[in-house]
Amino acid sequence: MATPEVYIDSEGLAEDQRSLLGKLAGLCRRQPLGAAGALVVIAMIVMAVFANLISPYDPELAAFENMLQAPNADYWFGTDQFGRDILTRLIYGARTALFVGFTCAFIGATGGLVLGVASAYFGGRFDLILQRIMDVFMAFPLIILALAVVATLGTGIQNVIIAITIPFIPQCARVVRSSALSIREIPYVDAARACGFSDLRIILRHMAPNVMAPYLIMLTTFVGQAILLEASLSYLGLGVQEPTPAWGLMLQGGAEEYAESAPWVPIFPGIAISLAVFGFNLFGDALRDLLDPKLRNR
């Protein structure tokens, strides 16, 4: 049996690659800040995934003979009060930041998506009661509510994730509900009801996919907020505990005591936190402009 010949159009593939690169270049020209934010996000992900390969030292190994060394050829970012390499702990700290950030953002945004769509779809007393509960949670600042949850449950990364996730749910639910209310009045939702589809099918197949734009925007925004909240809780001693590498924990150990004698100890973790939050916020703003039809052609 003859084997069919397969022809590869190299010119077509090259043209597709050029068109893709052209689209990416045009996107970067239209959204330079979003492209910068995406680069920061990609750099963090690469650091977290390949930390074992790119980090020069053990992040938890204390070397007291190297305590508080200034940045040099061996320790590019210097060492902390336990002689640990700051650059290594920053690289491994990206794992903690991204794990907490993505976990809290995904659970919080998804929970808000479900509650927001359900609230808009069912309406009536269910919507009224649910929105009043959301108002109670949104009345507290994020950090205050997170502190209350951690104080109740205790420290540890699992409790930190719970503490950060809970405030995210009502924020996303309120935004998603506002979009779902308009979708509920579209004729195809009435047509789905007339066809006898169940409420769950209508919510999952017809309403939830049409509110994915605000969901994705809130998701990217929540990652930066979660990273900042985790660093704040760790700085206060209520988050990740030693010897786990975490940026907020690194600030707790050197922000005040070594601000003058060894300024590299607090400066580099502070820069890492600022860049991470800044990058995710810029990326989220660019994503909003791309997904929102009103802002797309500005």
Question: What CATH code is carried by the domain that includes residue 169?
Answer: 1.10.3720.10
| Ramachandran quadrant class, 262 (left: phi over 0; alpha: psi -120 to 50; beta: rest) | beta
pLDDT digits (tens, 9 = 90+) for 240-274: 887 788 888 888 766 677 777 788 888 898 899 99
Q: Determine, yes or no, domain membership for 19.
A: no
Q: Is the pLDDT of residue 152 over 50?
A: yes
The whole domain housing 115 covers 31-52+76-296
The identity of residue 190, as a single letter, is D
Q: Determine, yes or no, domain membership for 16.
A: no
pLDDT digits (tens, 9 = 90+) for 2-50: 555 544 444 554 554 556 566 556 667 777 787 888 888 999 999 999 9
- The count of structural domains within the chain is 1
Look at residue 196 and give its three-state secondary structure. Answer: coil
Q: Determine, yes or no, domain membership for 247.
A: yes
Q: Is the pLDDT of residue 168 over 70?
A: yes
Question: pTM score, two decimals?
Answer: 0.82
Contact indicator for 54, 86 with CB cutoff of 8 Å: no
First-residue to last-residue Cα distance in the chain: 58
Q: Measure the CA–CA gap between 81 and 10, rounded to whole angstroms.
A: 58
Q: Determine, yes or no, domain membership for 5.
A: no
Q: Measure the CA–CA gap between 53 and 210, rounded to whole angstroms.
A: 41
Q: Determine, yes or no, domain membership for 150.
A: yes
Look at residue 182 and give its three-state secondary structure. Answer: helix
Tell me the CB-side half-sphere exposure of residue 117, using CA atoms within 13 A.
23
Q: Which residues pair with 79 in a beta bridge?
A: 85
Q: Which residues pair with 85 in a beta bridge?
A: 79
- Maximum average pLDDT range among 9-13, 130-134, 260-264, 284-288: 130-134
Tokens read off for 80: 């902390």
Q: Determine, yes or no, domain membership for 1.
A: no
